[in-house]
């Protein structure tokens, strides 16, 4: 690559060249500055650079699989429309039988919504989905009345947990190869269909012991749609409802050739067809090598043209699994990548792709649970839908780590989920601070600007952005325009705002764009030559006469002074719901230069009752008005 080649915004260059640019950045062939007009400057030796993830939660240490918050999560998460992340940990909890949890997308407010006992409520939870009304439905592979698993429902705050289906007890009869029952054992994948019914799979059981596909109406009516016998596959994983309404899925095991298969059927159970049989891995020099892949432990995804995409754990030229695409009628089976072999531009070898894929535009995002540059903990990768098995198309975004690293995790077996913010979410079954796994996000969150204002007519300004998940591909946007950006850390970016953009009073939006996943953060507002007023509650106390004294601090944080500040009213409601007005402290405050502050003391009568209360204030200044309320503890 020429040392003066210029990196343009990702949408403006041809797709193949774009991938080569990204590779060059990732490997240290170019400095990771990303503003317009900046140039690549090659290093002497190419070095692979893993981009950071944001760890939202590290699960605590366990003792014999028991802890407070869960351990070893292994399945996809769900991200609600409000950005709340829901997931399961297969183990941990007080009884060691797993938990259902939630956490905000910034890592705050982690909650255990339900701790499974392994008894009647189920144990070892697997998949979850969220219905449009917010209700969560999930599967637990064990426990329940018969010890064979359950389907359950629960509110998003963890209330009203209810088992909606108990799977039947299984029967062991030799010489049958598998135990069997009426409706399946170890429920696994779950989706909601267009008809609002739930559709799912069970890994084992059914009349022939190879697992089942089932339908569950929201009123609890349960129907087995298909029972696997082994010749048509066994151990079905997740389901996808395609554009035409048919259900598509993968069986990890058995099938005509012994390497698993792909199948389709209609929502009423009719029309079952195997659309592709995988070959069993060979057993010569490498027991995992074959042609075309084996063991499709995958959740299929479909693009707008109807093409299906998925992965296999094993097989391919190097035995490390494959990424494939196929038409819904089984035609045009094509390999996009074969894992386990040398990767382009010295990227580390990765293998065993697993879990849920994300399809965004013409890019596929996925995870491998082995390989990478950090203790073999796997990788997060992206590849275009038009790729061939030429390794130059695969781009490894992040290397996971099986070690106890508070900023990483290892073994992302569940794959990825696309959030409403355009970012990628998932879990790892190991690693993190305590070795018991993490919940993670790939993508940027913008939290604060420093400074967040400037006077009109300012000179060039150095702007520092605070947040999480910043990478070498994070671009600062000022009113939608790319700004020369420097990454200081995964929590800080820095950009220079030219004086010409600060010449006139007004405001600007500041965002961060991630060039790998094409996601843009919610904007923060930067004020230019405009006042901004903040009010802080400083203290609440009583004086010698038992009057209540409340101190408020007014801060001018904008790019212009706050003029003629006036606190018009202040009223306090006490725990007896009695409301009184301030007897002193209200009225004119004066002018506040930009960056200055003033503290005001309000006096309320001694009759105010102690306990929790509510303070409400209102006022004006030349450029506008303000109002605030504060929860207070009255002494």
The confidence score (pLDDT) of residue 4 equals 28
Residue 39: pLDDT over 50:
no
Query: What are the Cα distances from residue 203, in Å, to 214, 238, 433?
Result: 11, 10, 32
The pTM assigned to this predicted structure is 0.83
My answer on whether 543 and 518 are in the same domain is: no
The confidence score (pLDDT) of residue 61 equals 96
Using the Cα atoms of residue 495, residue 501, residue 505 and residue 507 in order, give the sign of their dihedral.
negative
The confidence score (pLDDT) of residue 347 equals 87
Tell me if residue 344 falls in helix, strand or coil: helix
The confidence score (pLDDT) of residue 37 equals 31
Q: Provide the percentage of residues in the chain whose pLDDT is more than 90.
A: 82
My answer on whether 596 and 568 are in the same domain is: yes
The confidence score (pLDDT) of residue 177 equals 60
Residue 79: pLDDT over 70:
yes
Average pLDDT over every residue of 271-280: 95
**DSSP state letters, 262-280:** EEEE-TTS---EEEEEEEP
The confidence score (pLDDT) of residue 21 equals 36
Mean pLDDT rounded to a whole number for the chain: 89
Q: Quick check: is 514 in a domain?
A: yes
My answer on whether 542 and 524 are in the same domain is: no
Which among 443, 442, 485, 482 is positioned nearest to 463, based on CA atoms? 485
The confidence score (pLDDT) of residue 389 equals 84
Tell me if residue 499 falls in helix, strand or coil: helix
Which among 394, 508, 399, 409 is positioned nearest to 449, based on CA atoms? 508
Lowest mean pLDDT of 43-57, 60-74, 311-325, 347-361, name the range. 43-57
602: alpha, beta or left, given left = phi > 0 and alpha = psi -120 to 50? beta
Average pLDDT over every residue of 572-600: 94
Query: What are the Cα distances from residue 146, in Å, to 36, 286, 459?
Result: 63, 41, 73
My answer on whether 619 and 541 are in the same domain is: yes
My answer on whether 451 and 524 are in the same domain is: yes
Task: Categorize the per-residue pLDDT at 178 as very low, low, confident or very high, splitting at 50, 70 and 90.
Answer: low
The confidence score (pLDDT) of residue 11 equals 31
Q: Quick check: is 554 in a domain?
A: yes
My answer on whether 541 and 564 are in the same domain is: yes
Q: Quick check: is 284 in a domain?
A: no
Cα–Cα distance, 211 to 229 (Å, whole number): 8
Cα–Cα distance, 615 to 538 (Å, whole number): 13
Residue 470: pLDDT over 90:
yes
Listed in sequence order, the residues at least 6 apart from 84 whose beta carbon sits closer than 8 Å to its beta carbon are 102, 103, 104, 105, 156
Burial state string for 236-252 with b = 16 or more CB within 10 A and e = fewer than 16: bbbbbbeeeeebbbbbb
Cα–Cα distance, 59 to 430 (Å, whole number): 9
DSSP state of 62: -
Average pLDDT over every residue of 34-63: 65
Beta strands in 74-228 (DSSP E): 78-79, 85-89, 99-103, 111-115, 123-130, 136-142, 150-154, 162-166, 185-192, 198-204, 212-216, 222-227
Residue 374: pLDDT over 80:
no
Task: Categorize the per-residue pLDDT at 560 as very low, low, confident or very high, splitting at 50, 70 and 90.
Answer: confident
Cα–Cα distance, 317 to 289 (Å, whole number): 6
Query: Measured in whole angstroms, how far is the alpha carbon of residue 426 from the centre of its chain?
Result: 5
Strand partners, 533: 556
Average pLDDT over every residue of 517-542: 93
My answer on whether 561 and 615 are in the same domain is: yes
Average pLDDT over every residue of 382-398: 90
My answer on whether 504 and 573 are in the same domain is: no
Question: Which CATH number goes with the domain that contains 494?
Answer: 2.60.40.10
Residue 414: pLDDT over 80:
yes
Q: Quick check: is 593 in a domain?
A: yes
Q: Provide the percentage of residues in the chain whose pLDDT is more than 70.
A: 90
My answer on whether 589 and 526 are in the same domain is: no
Using omega within 30 degrees of 0 as the cis cutoff, is the peptide bond preceding 451 cis? yes
My answer on whether 478 and 564 are in the same domain is: no
Cα angle 313, 242, 209 (rounded to 5 degrees) comes to 55
Domain boundary (530, 559, 585) is at: 530
Query: What are the Cα distances from residue 197, in Å, to 131, 200, 220, 227?
Result: 11, 10, 10, 19
Lowest mean pLDDT of 12-21, 48-57, 273-282, name the range. 12-21
My answer on whether 503 and 575 are in the same domain is: no
Count structural domains, the chain.
2
pLDDT in tens, 159-174: 999 999 999 998 876 6
Cα–Cα distance, 383 to 322 (Å, whole number): 12
My answer on whether 451 and 522 are in the same domain is: yes
Q: Quick check: is 555 in a domain?
A: yes
The answer to whether the CB of 309 falls within 8 A of the CB of 333 is no
327: alpha, beta or left, given left = phi > 0 and alpha = psi -120 to 50? beta
Which among 437, 492, 429 is positioned nearest to 57, based on CA atoms? 437
524 lies in which domain range?
443-530
- List the structure tokens of 97: 């039988």
Residue 47: pLDDT over 70:
no
Domain boundary (530, 551, 582) is at: 530
Domain boundary (484, 502, 530) is at: 530
Q: Quick check: is 430 in a domain?
A: no
The confidence score (pLDDT) of residue 489 equals 94
Listed in sequence order, the residues at least 6 apart from 263 whose beta carbon sits closer than 8 Å to its beta carbon are 232, 233, 236, 248, 249, 250, 251, 272, 273, 274, 275
Q: Quick check: is 128 in a domain?
A: no
The confidence score (pLDDT) of residue 521 equals 93
The confidence score (pLDDT) of residue 138 equals 98
Q: CB burial class (10 A; 0-12, 13-18, 19+) of residue 434?
A: middle
Burial state string for 523-551 with b = 16 or more CB within 10 A and e = fewer than 16: ebebbbbbbbbebeeeebeeeeeebbbbe
Q: Quick check: is 383 in a domain?
A: no
Lowest mean pLDDT of 197-201, 256-260, 343-347, name the range. 343-347
């Amino acid at each position: 690559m020429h040392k003066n080649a210029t990196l343009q915004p990702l949408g403006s260059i041809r797709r193949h060249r774009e991938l080569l640019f990204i590779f060059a950045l990732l490997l240290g062939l170019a400095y990771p500055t990303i503003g317009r007009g900046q140039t690549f400057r090659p290093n002497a030796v190419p070095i692979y650079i893993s981009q950071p993830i944001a760890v939202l939660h590290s699960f605590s240490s366990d003792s014999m699989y028991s802890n407070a918050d869960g351990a070893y999560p292994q399945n996809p998460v769900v991200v609600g429309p409000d950005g709340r992340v829901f997931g399961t940990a297969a183990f941990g909890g007080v009884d060691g039988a797993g938990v259902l949890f939630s956490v905000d997308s910034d890592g705050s407010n982690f909650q255990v919504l339900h701790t499974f006992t392994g008894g009647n409520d189920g144990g070892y939870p697997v998949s979850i989905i969220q219905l449009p009304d917010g209700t969560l439905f999930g599967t637990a592979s064990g426990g329940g009345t018969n010890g064979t698993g359950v389907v359950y429902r629960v509110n998003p705050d963890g209330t009203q947990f209810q088992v909606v289906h108990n799977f039947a007890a299984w029967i062991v009869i030799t010489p049958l190869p598998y135990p069997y029952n009426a409706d399946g054992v170890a429920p696994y994948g779950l989706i909601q269909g267009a008809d609002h019914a739930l559709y799912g799979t069970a890994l084992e059981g059914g009349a022939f012991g190879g697992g089942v596909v089932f339908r569950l109406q929201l009123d609890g009516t349960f129907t087995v749609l298909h029972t696997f016998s082994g010749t048509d596959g066994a151990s079905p994983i997740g389901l996808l409802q395609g554009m035409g309404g048919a259900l598509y899925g993968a069986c990890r095991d058995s099938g005509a050739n012994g390497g698993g298969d792909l199948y389709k059927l209609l929502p009423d159970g009719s029309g079952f067809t195997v659309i592709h049989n995988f070959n069993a891995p060979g057993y010569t020099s490498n027991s995992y090598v074959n042609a075309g892949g084996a063991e499709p432990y995958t959740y299929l995804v479909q693009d707008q043209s109807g093409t299906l995409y998925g992965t296999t754990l094993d097989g391919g030229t190097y035995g490390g699994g494959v990424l494939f695409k196929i038409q819904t009628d089984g035609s045009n089976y094509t390999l996009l990548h074969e894992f386990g072999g040398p990767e382009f531009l010295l990227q580390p070898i990765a293998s065993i792709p697993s879990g849920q894929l994300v399809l965004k535009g013409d890019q596929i995002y996925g995870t491998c649970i082995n390989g990478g540059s950090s203790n073999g903990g796997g990788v997060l990768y992206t590849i275009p839908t038009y790729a061939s098995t030429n390794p130059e198309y695969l781009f490894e975004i992040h290397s996971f780590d099986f070690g106890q690293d508070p900023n990483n995790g290892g073994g992302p077996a569940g794959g990825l989920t696309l959030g409403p913010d355009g970012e990628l979410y998932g879990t790892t079954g190991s690693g993190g601070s305590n070795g018991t796994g993490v919940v993670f996000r790939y993508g940027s969150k913008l939290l604060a600007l420093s400074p967040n204002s400037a006077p009109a007519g300012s000179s060039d300004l150095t702007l520092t952005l605070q947040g999480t998940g910043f990478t070498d591909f994070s671009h600062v946007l000022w009113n939608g325009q790319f700004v020369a950006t420097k990454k200081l850390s995964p929590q800080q970016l820095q950009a220079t705002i030219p004086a010409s953009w600060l010449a006139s009073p007004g405001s600007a939006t500041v965002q961060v764009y991630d060039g790998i996943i094409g996601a843009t953060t919610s904007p923060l507002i930067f004020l230019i030559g405009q006042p901004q007023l903040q009010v802080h509650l400083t203290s609440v106390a009583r004086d010698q006469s038992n009057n209540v004294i409340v101190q408020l601090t007014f801060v001018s944080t904008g790019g212009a002074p706050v003029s003629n500040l006036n606190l018009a009213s202040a009223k306090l409601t006490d725990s007896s719901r009695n409301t009184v007005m301030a007897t002193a402290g209200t009225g004119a405050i004066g002018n506040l230069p930009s960056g200055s502050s003033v503290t005001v003391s309000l006096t309320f009568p001694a009759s105010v009752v102690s306990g929790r209360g509510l303070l409400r204030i209102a006022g004006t200044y030349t450029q506008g008005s303000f109002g605030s309320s504060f929860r207070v503890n009255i002494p």
